[in-house]
Amino acid sequence: MRYSNDKRTVMTLDAGGTNFVFSAIKGEKEIADPVILPAHGNDLEKSLKNLIKGFKEIESKIKQKPVAISFAFPGPAEYEQGIIDDLANLPAYRNGVAIGIMLEENFNLPVFINNDADLFAFGEALAGFLPEVNSKLEKANCPKRYKNLFGATFGTGFGGGIIYNGNIFFGDNSAQAEVNRIRNKLYPHTNAEDSVSIRGIKRVYAREAGIDIEKCPEPKTIFEIGTGKIKGDKNAALKAFEEMAVVAGNTFANTITLVDGLIVIGGGLAGAHQIFLQKIVDEMNNNFITLNNEPLPRLEIKVFNLEDKNDINNFLSGETKTIKVPFSNTKIKYDPLKRIGVGISKLGTSKAVSIGAYNFALNKIDGFF
C-alpha cells in the first residue's frame, strides 16, 4: 500500500560511512530541514550518541509527534531485530549492535531498519520507475503491465533489492538480493562488486592509464574524460565503464532469470549511464554457445534500454496480435514478446530511499508487511 497522502510523520535517516543525515517525512514529502552529524564510524559510543542526538533534533523541528523511525543502514545486519553487525565502512559496529531497540527505548516509537537498496527499489516501485513504465504502456495501448522490479545501486558498493508483486522480498537471514556476491564474470576469483563500484572504476582506469591508484581521478571525472568533456585518457575511461557494464550485465542476467521483472539503477555511478547502460543491455542480450557449438540466447526474455528512444518505442509496441480461440468465434489480443527493460532512477536515489522508508514503516504499522 502507498501512503502518498497520509498525514502521519516518520523520522528517517540516511546512514553513510562519513555522515548521518536525519529528516522527517509526511505524505512522502520532507517536512524538516535535514540534520547532518558525523557518523564516527570508528567510535561506537560517539556514533550511537549521534544517532540519538540527530533524531532528537529532528523531533524538535516538527510539530506533529512522529509515529515511527524508519531508515536505511548498511549491512550485514539482522534488520528485523534491528541489529547491525560487522560493517566495512563503520567498523565500530562489530559483534552485534542492537540500535533498533536502543532507539525504541529512547523515543518510545517503533523502529524499522532496512537495507538501502531494498528501500530504493521499494520507492521506485511505488512512486518512480515501475509506475512510469506502466503508464507509458497504458498510453501506448499495450496490454502488458509489470508488477516485479529489481533495483540496483552502483556506488561505494553494489546493492540490490527485489520487489515482488508490490512487496519487498525478504530473505530468511536479511541477506536477500545480495548481488555483490555473484561471481565476477571478468575476474572469476572475486565478486561482482569488485568491478561494479567506485573502486572498480578507479582500479581499471588507473591500470589502463598507467598511473598509480592514488593519483586516479574520481568516477565523475573519469566519466567526463570518457565523454570528451575534459582532457584525459579517454580509452582508459571507456574501458573502466565497459568492464563495470559487462560484470553488471552478467549479474543482472543471472538475477533476472529468477525475478523476471524490470530493472532500475540508482546510486552515485548511475549519472554516467550514457556510456555504460547500453553495454549492460548488450551483455544481457548476448548468446551462450551450447556444447553443440550453437548459439543460445542468454535469457528467455529480450532486454531493452529504456533510456534509448528507439528501444523504448520497440518495448512499448511489443508484438501485440489478435488470435482466434479454437472452436469459437471469440478473438483475443495478446503480446507474445517476452521482454523487460533496464533504466535509471526516476526519483533520484535519496528520494527513492526516503519514500521507500516512509511507506515501509506505515505498511508495517498497518499490518500489511
What is the per-residue pLDDT for 151?
Answer: 98
Dump pLDDT digits (tens) for 273-299: 999 999 999 999 999 999 999 999 999
In a domain, 225, yes or no: yes
Residues 244-268, mean pLDDT to the nearest whole number: 97
In a domain, 156, yes or no: yes
134 in the same domain as 74 = no
In a domain, 34, yes or no: yes
Q: Which of 60, 85, 114 is the last residue of a domain?
A: 114
Q: Which helix (H) or strand (E) holds 277?
A: helix 277-284
What is the per-residue pLDDT for 365?
Answer: 96
Dump pLDDT digits (tens) for 330-351: 999 888 999 999 999 999 998 9
What is the per-residue pLDDT for 271?
Answer: 96
Give the alpha-carbon dihedral of 123, 38, 174, 55, to 10 degrees: -70
210 in the same domain as 69 = no
Residue 264 has pLDDT above 90, yes or no: yes
Dump pLDDT digits (tens) for 36-90: 999 998 999 999 999 999 999 999 999 999 999 999 887 778 999 999 987 777 8
SS3 content of the chain, % helix, strand, coil (to 5): 40, 20, 35
What is the per-residue pLDDT for 301?
Answer: 97
pLDDT interval class at 303 (50, 70, 90): very high
CA separation for the pair 6, 225 (Å, rounded): 45
Domains: count for the chain: 2
In a domain, 189, yes or no: yes
Residue type, 61: K
Is 152:159 a contact under the CB 8 Å cutoff?
Answer: yes
Residues 10-20, mean pLDDT to the nearest whole number: 88
CA separation for the pair 296, 59 (Å, rounded): 57
78 in the same domain as 201 = no
Using N-to-C axis directions, what is the helix angle for 277-284 and 234-259, rounded to 10°? 50
What is the per-residue pLDDT for 134?
Answer: 97
216 in the same domain as 259 = yes
What is the per-residue pLDDT for 316?
Answer: 96
154 in the same domain as 97 = no
293 in the same domain as 187 = yes
In a domain, 119, yes or no: no
Q: Which of 85, 114, 143 is the last residue of a domain?
A: 114
Is 117:133 a contact under the CB 8 Å cutoff?
Answer: no
Dump pLDDT digits (tens) for 124-147: 999 999 999 999 999 998 889 999
pLDDT interval class at 366 (50, 70, 90): very high
Task: Label residues 179-205 b or e (16+ Cβ within 10 Å = b).
Answer: bbebebbeeeeebbbbbbbbbbbbbbb
Better-predicted residue by pLDDT, 72 or 304: 304
110 in the same domain as 142 = no
Dump pLDDT digits (tens) for 167-196: 999 999 888 999 999 999 999 999 999 999
Residue 342: Cβ-neighbour burial (10 angstroms; 0-12, 13-18, 19+): buried
75 in the same domain as 152 = no
pLDDT interval class at 24 (50, 70, 90): very high
Identify the CATH number of the domain in which residue 47 sits.
3.30.420.40
Residues 109-123, mean pLDDT to the nearest whole number: 95
CA separation for the pair 108, 250 (Å, rounded): 45
249 in the same domain as 219 = yes
In a domain, 3, yes or no: no
283 in the same domain as 205 = yes
In a domain, 354, yes or no: no
What is the per-residue pLDDT for 169?
Answer: 94
Q: Which of 114, 139, 164 is the last residue of a domain?
A: 114
Residue 104 has pLDDT above 90, yes or no: yes
What is the per-residue pLDDT for 310?
Answer: 95
- If you average pLDDT over every residue of the chain, what do you get? 95
84 in the same domain as 141 = no
295 in the same domain as 160 = yes
DSSP letter at 200 equals H
pLDDT interval class at 238 (50, 70, 90): very high
Domain span holding position 257: 129-346
In a domain, 353, yes or no: no
Is 318:339 a contact under the CB 8 Å cutoff?
Answer: yes
